[in-house]
Amino acid sequence: MPDLLRTALRAAALLALALGAPLRAQTPPDAPALYQQHCAACHGAQRTGLMGPALLPESLERTRPAEVLRVIREGRQATQMAGYAGQLSGAEIQALADWIRTPAVPAPRWSEADIRASRIATPLPDDEPVRPKWSADPMNLFVVVEGGDHHVSLLDGDRFTVITRFASRYALHGGPKFTPDGRYVFFGSRDGWITKYDLWRLQVVAEVRAGLNMRNVAVSGDGRWVMAANYLPHSLALFDADLNLVKTYEAATLDGKASSRVSAVYDATPRNSFVVALKDIPEIWEISYDKKAAPIYDGLVHDYKMGEAIAKPGYLGVRRTPLSEPLDDFFFDQSYRHVLGATRPQAGKSETASAQVVNLDVRRKIADLPIAGMPHLGSGITFAWNGTTVLASPNLGGTGVDVIDMQSWKNLRTIPTPGAGFFMRSHENTPYAWTDSMMSKDAKDRLTIIDKRTLEPVAEVREPGKTLAHIEFTRDGRYALASVWEMDGALIVYDAATFREVKRLPMAKPVGKYNVWNKITRSEGTSH
């Protein structure tokens, strides 16, 4: 072989190697194969969850991408989730993080049979005394959700000491709900689990998976029913108090041509019903658990009093109220006649949030609320002021608290605050309302205290450099509890009259705290 040709071939071979090496290095990791190898045993072959939570885009929508990467890389404390930094490359970890945020194919399903098969129960021993295992006022307990490491703390609201701390399901959401006697509490998790916990025995007594991605749960005023609102599947699930499935409701239009995620479900005890908002269909549903509920007439009716329509049973049936746009979430006025609902911006329809008032008795919208960006999950409060009742709510669309006359539904005043807030709370035994500015980059570390008599800010408390948010009061309204919303956070107890710090309890991102008495009595200024 001529030297020139030999040299050319050698050069070509070297060039091929030089070009081939980076091509092989750039071959993308096989994320589905990595998942099946390292993740499926705990999170399920279809990412729907087993021992670990569901890893679906619907379940991870509130988890930042950086946090997903960190958990895969470093693991999660106090769980069986170990870090994979020593086993997987940075590219493989990134590929996994990206892949679990994509829709599962085929789309996962969760049937009534799946719900029933998921139920776990621990019956109460026949010979066990029926009394609390602790010495505290059972009506002045706080259930504190610690989102940092997915635990719940039970707090004595008189001594401000932790009675017990236990692991919860992944990412509790929507607030715990209590039975009327305050003994049992129900938690709902993002990945669809409902947990019934006995506060007296300090034990989980039943669990069931209502769906694959759940918004929240509600407990009926008589303690007989539990209802779950699901994003995936598009459904409501109704259970008895022991978490046995009674029935499911497809969240769909009357003709079944369109379905929807369920935004939220709440109990309306004075009405003996659950009230439901749909995220993708402009309707509010009311489902009565009163056996004497009036019949339901869907569609066009000439005169139902003359029997000129076919009636459906009102008991556990769906009574629909049409709206002009869907509600993302809502809360009630104190009479429970009105739903105060918020609508998030929708791509291609509206660039701004809006809010509206729906009268459940006449079954229609009666007013628009002049709040551009009202927070969800009952973030506002109502109280008496100058001979009328007012709604006060933080405004996500800007700084300030909007005060609305609940007779005219007009804005009375905008109370200045240092930044956009999310939670506002008060109590019937205090003249003050507390609101945060947690949605503000520069003012997230402070709470503004407002005099309900003058509608003016009177004081401020700060936690420099931290996020200070979500207030709740003791049973008597003497103390206000706030969360330092950080992994190395705390629960801070303030004197509600002097605004001075009384005690501080270290906690892992205490995202919410809920007083038994305030919740079961529907106390003024507390979310319901």
CA distance 331 to 408: 18
Q: Are 482 and 469 in contact (CB under 8 A)?
A: yes
What domains lie within the chain, and their CATH numbers? 3-99 (1.10.760.10)
* pLDDT tens sequence across 37-89: 899 878 888 888 766 778 888 667 657 888 889 989 988 755 668 889 888 89
**Of 122, 113, 166, nearest in space to 144 by CA:** 166
Element (DSSP H or E) covering residue 193: strand 193-198
pLDDT of residue 62: 58
CA distance 29 to 88: 10
Burial class (CB in 10 A: 0-12, 13-18, 19+), 119: middle
- Looking from the CA of 324 toward its CB, the CA atoms found within 13 Å total 12
Q: Are strands 401-405 and 411-415 parallel, antiparallel or unpaired?
A: antiparallel
Taking phi over 0 as left and psi of -120 to 50 as alpha, with beta for the rest, 428 belongs to alpha
CA distance 471 to 461: 12
Max Cα distance, the chain (Å)? 107
pLDDT of residue 348: 52
Q: Which residue has the tokens 């017990």?
A: 164
Full pLDDT tens readout for the chain, 528 residues: 455 545 555 655 555 545 554 544 568 999 888 998 899 878 888 888 766 778 888 667 657 888 889 989 988 755 668 889 888 899 988 998 998 999 888 878 999 999 999 999 998 888 777 889 999 999 999 999 999 999 999 999 999 999 999 999 988 988 999 999 999 999 999 999 999 999 999 999 999 999 999 999 999 999 999 999 999 999 999 999 999 999 999 999 999 999 999 999 999 999 999 999 999 999 999 999 999 999 999 865 555 555 556 889 999 999 999 998 898 889 898 889 999 988 876 555 555 667 899 999 999 999 988 876 676 657 889 999 999 999 999 887 778 999 999 999 999 999 999 999 999 999 999 999 999 999 998 999 999 999 999 999 999 999 999 999 999 999 999 999 999 999 999 999 999 999 999 999 999 999 999 999 999 999 988 877
pTM confidence score: 0.85
Q: Are 371 and 409 in contact (CB under 8 A)?
A: no
pLDDT of residue 27: 87
| Helix boundaries (H) for 26-165 | 31-38, 40-43, 65-74, 90-99, 112-118
**Of 150, 149, 153, 172, nearest in space to 161 by CA:** 153
SS3 category, 290: coil
pLDDT of residue 48: 81
Strands (E) in 210-289, as ranges, are 213-219, 225-232, 235-240, 245-250, 262-268, 273-278, 283-288
pLDDT of residue 124: 80
* pLDDT tens sequence across 155-196: 999 999 999 999 999 889 889 999 999 999 999 999 999 999
